[in-house]
Amino acid sequence: MKIIIHKNKFEDRDYLVCLPASYLHDDKRYPVVYVQDGDRLLPVLEAMVDSANGTIEEHGREHIIVGVIPRNRLDDYTPWPAPALTAGVPAFGGLGEQYLDFLANDFKPYIDDVYRTLPDPVNTCILGVSLGGLISLYAIYKQACFGRAVSISGSLWYPSLIDFMQNHAPCSTASRVLLLSGRREGSCEPPPLRHSVQCVQRAQLVLEQQLFERDIPLIWDDGDHMDNLHLRLKKALQWIGEVN
């Protein structure tokens, strides 16, 4: 199956759009997945969607995939400032709330206007890996337009994140969340990275309580932080295609 890729710029931010092949041959509207680190992840997703295996279409409806390219991921993908983990590395800027405001109130309306989307929350998913997974989870607490979130190897060890989740409610109790992680995440790292596995488990429990005992899938593999990315993305696409 062939797909169509558009690369463009909106308000000085670069983005990529992956359209299903059927987009040019009908007038129907499509659900949307907003992918963080779009310049890094969209080529992987493109290959998967364009192959016979692991496609969203294989498991459900076709989607438009929008790859958002960050200006500075240490700023855009962190909810509040935090010190650098190691010397010589920039601190976390904590501009995630402003970034999500841009996504929800500027960029998404633009995408909805340019492309034939299904704009409601149940048809709008946000997905990311590592810090992108952190901001994708944070999004359901800040912007009601994102009714679905996928956090792959999310940096849920981020200082005060679990406390924030425990003391704030998602924008909608109808939100659906998928967590994917490796059992060896952070095992050879100093704190707080060493606590990655426990933080993912705690996040799952908090979400299940907040979403009225709704099942929050947590899919494990035996890898470390960025291991098995292709497989994790494939499982994420399968869930997105099937989730109601």
pLDDT tens for each residue of 152-169: 999 999 999 999 999 999
User: Which CATH superfamily groups domain 4-242?
Assistant: Alpha/Beta hydrolase fold, catalytic domain (3.40.50.1820)
Q: Alpha carbon of 112 to those of 64, 96, 122: distances in Å?
A: 11, 22, 14
CA 134, CA 157: separation in Å to the nearest integer?
9
Per-residue pLDDT averaged across 210-235, rounded? Answer: 85
Write out the two tokens for 64: 């438009």
Q: Are 204 and 176 in contact (CB under 8 A)?
A: no
3-state class of 128 per DSSP?
Answer: strand
Q: Alpha carbon of 185 to those of 36, 70, 84, 232: distances in Å?
A: 20, 24, 19, 14
Instruction: Tell me what percent of the residues of the chain surpass a pLDDT of 90.
Output: 66
User: What DSSP state is assigned to residue 60?
Assistant: S
Q: Are 57 and 20 in contact (CB under 8 A)?
A: yes
pLDDT tens for each residue of 97-108: 999 999 999 999
CA 72, CA 78: separation in Å to the nearest integer?
10
Question: Is residue 109's pLDDT more than 50?
Answer: yes
